[in-house]
Amino acid sequence: MNDGALTRRRLRHDIQHEIATVMMLASAIATADDVGKESRTRVQQLVGETRWLGMLLQQLDDDGFIEAPQDRLLTELVRVDLLVAEIADAMRLSTATAVASSGQTAYAHVDRLALWRAVRNMLDNACRAAGPSGRVTARVLVESGWTVVEIDDDGPGFGARVKGGLASLGFGIIHDFVVEYGGSMELSQAELGGACVRIQLPAAAAPGYSTEWEPEADEVSHL
């Protein structure tokens, strides 16, 4: 191992310890008797966000991001609507933009962290486009064998957005994710008047079902 790789490994080691410390401190605050309900909710979201940060760090090797072999994608059965709601909840507490979410019960066979990265970038791009006084909606649907995640904003739309920068990096992450897992990405005008980013993933059956997915669950809204 060269000196640079050793230094990066030691830095990751220290960062992981700091992440664990932050999570323990935040968990202690969340369970304290003198913390109000709203503060407890914010701290619980902080714990969740820190956990995702730790997962991202774990996927770094000495030379960069660890990519799974093309014939061995990392997959698990993920409850997509719950994951999207979790991300939307975190965004709602960390931005002035009004963020709402709703969704049908929906599953997909994907890597949980990869899906989190894609949806987080979708919502982050939408919130930046809408601005602090704008609105963003996230929806999860099941349509004809596809699990769909749809993010709308009331920003200026794609034609008026500044090209490049963080948005371009985000779209690259989203595109690579859906291609890797046999899905697709669509860009269109949103019902709110801005942009709509929509990804489709092959729907998976709910646990305990051996047949193809049949959407029967009610839609749940998170305002």
Which letter does DSSP use for residue 219 in this model?
Answer: P
Per-residue model confidence (pLDDT) at position 222: 58
Which letter does DSSP use for residue 64 in this model?
Answer: S
Residues facing 187 on adjacent strands:
197
Q: At what angle do helices 80-94 and 37-58 cross, to 10 degrees?
A: 120
Question: Using CA atoms, how far apart are residues 198 and 107, in angstroms rounded to an integer?
Answer: 16
Question: Using CA atoms, how far apart are residues 116 and 122, in angstroms rounded to an integer?
Answer: 10
Q: What are the domain boundaries of the chain?
A: 3-58, 76-222
Query: What pTM, to 2 d.p., does this model score?
Result: 0.74
Per-residue model confidence (pLDDT) at position 151: 96
- Select from 168, 48, 52 the least CA-distant residue to 116: 52
Please state the CATH superfamily assignment of the domain spanning residues 76-222 in this structure: Histidine kinase-like ATPase, C-terminal domain (3.30.565.10)
Question: Using CA atoms, how far apart are residues 127 and 141, in angstroms rounded to an integer?
Answer: 21
Per-residue model confidence (pLDDT) at position 1: 60
pLDDT digits (tens, 9 = 90+) for 6-15: 677 777 767 7
Question: Using CA atoms, how far apart are residues 17 and 157, in angstroms rounded to an integer?
Answer: 42
| Residues of the chain scoring pLDDT < 70 | 1, 4-6, 13, 60-73, 158-167, 209-223
Question: Using CA atoms, how far apart are residues 70 and 59, in angstroms rounded to an integer?
Answer: 16
Per-residue model confidence (pLDDT) at position 49: 79
Placement of tokens 């920003």 in the chain: 155
